[in-house]
Structure 1
């Protein structure tokens, strides 16, 4: 938990502060022409996403789940209704207007839909007391909550790998962004499914 929490804290410390000023000039995402409300949706997506990332880190913390189940439930509601769902909805609004090309825009739409769908499915499962299904869907929701973070980790690798093939920066940026987004989503989906399918080792006494 500690390395993951530190990574998330570093990501948020780098990504969020420019948007707390509500100054469009400091935005790291260019606004598409003809979409004046883009910056407002982007800021909402980032602020709700910050709540979601902090909330989901607390949700997967085993100690908190075991020792403080009431806190786990309350943080879960915050994650779902003040974090994941509104952030994913904001992402669906701005994703089609990505400045990194249509392929990257399509990936962002798919990621937002997966995040939204898995979160809602997890919430419905716990309301129906289907605890095993709730756990599975929330693991997938956690994976999609980490998508933006992991894509930023992959981005430098994608730029280095594709650099020789794209001498023009205007062509390299969309290609690298698409590759980083694809690698991030596939990695998270595969790892989350592996985590759900793995067979925990039995204690030594049981063996």
Structure 2
């Protein structure tokens, strides 16, 4: 593997690493549902396990596989694989976002959560779903630049849990416990940071696709249209 190839995989590797903490939390939740005891903290999940199970599985799929789409050489040299992954990621991302919205609306809130955190979850969850839908609609119109931009936005929001873990851990180490409104604002900051980075990436690069990127996008459209 050449140095340029290794550099091209730095971002996907970092994104997968960002997913590890939420993945660990999801694995613990699934293990709890499989053989744990019902407690006041998890009773809502036992009462309706399907949404949380679907949310965890779709989130892992979307965040891990979606990271591969950020490898430039992968997109340019394997347009067919990029297209196949896109077909997989759109429903996975929608399932992740919609189940997250469902849980916010219909699960009992755990102690410490409040209206503001619920509002954050509804706003960012809705924005994620809308971004994926708009990204899919854009590629159907062969609007490659808008497709790329909306898909980056949707993925950035999906990765909010990983950034939230880093932000909260940093606060705990530097300041102290994160509870109540402090915790709510830190979770909101995690989403906001990701959205800001996404916009920086989108606006900081040329919108005109390179020849390789254009070829990849055209192949992607052809697969979606078929």
After TM superposition, the score normalised by the length of structure 2 is 0.73
What is the alpha-carbon distance in structure 2 between the residues aligned to residue 69 and residue 155 of structure 1? Answer: 38
Secondary structure of 1:16's aligned partner: helix
State how many pairs are aligned: 191
Deviations 1:26-83 (A, max 9, x none): 799934669921x3311211111111111210111212101100100110111111x1
The 3 A distance-change label for structure 1 pair 101 and 17 is same
The 3 A distance-change label for structure 1 pair 147 and 6 is closer
| Contact 1:162-1:176 within 8 A present in 2 as well | no
Tell me what 2:99 maps to.
90
What is the alpha-carbon distance in structure 1 between the residues aligned to residue 64 and residue 46 of structure 2? Answer: 30
| Contact 1:159-1:173 within 8 A present in 2 as well | no
Deviations 1:73-112 (A, max 9, x none): 110111111x100111100011244322222121111111
Tell me what 2:117 maps to.
104
Q: Does 1:174 align with 2:191?
A: no
Q: Within 5 Å, which residues of 2 pair with 1:8-157?
A: 8=18, 10-11=20-21, 13-21=23-31, 22-23=33-34, 25=36, 30-31=41-42, 36-37=47-48, 39-81=49-91, 83-96=92-105, 97-99=108-110, 100-157=113-170
Bigger relative contact order, structure 1 or 2, given CA contacts below 8 A and separation 6+? 2
| Contact 2:164-2:187 within 8 A present in 1 as well | yes
The 3 A distance-change label for structure 1 pair 28 and 175 is farther
TM-superposed CA distance for 1:174, in Å, is 2.7
RMSD over aligned Cα, in angstroms? 2.8
Deviations 1:165-203 (A, max 9, x none): xxxx8xx52323312212112111111111111156xxx
Tell me what 2:214 maps to.
none
What is the alpha-carbon distance in structure 2 between the residues aligned to residue 33 and residue 118 of structure 1? Answer: 29
The 3 A distance-change label for structure 1 pair 116 and 27 is farther
Tell me what 1:203 maps to.
none
The 3 A distance-change label for structure 1 pair 137 and 29 is farther
Q: Which runs of 5+ in 2 are unaligned?
A: 1-8, 207-226
The 3 A distance-change label for structure 1 pair 62 and 121 is same
Q: Does 1:190 align with 2:160?
A: no
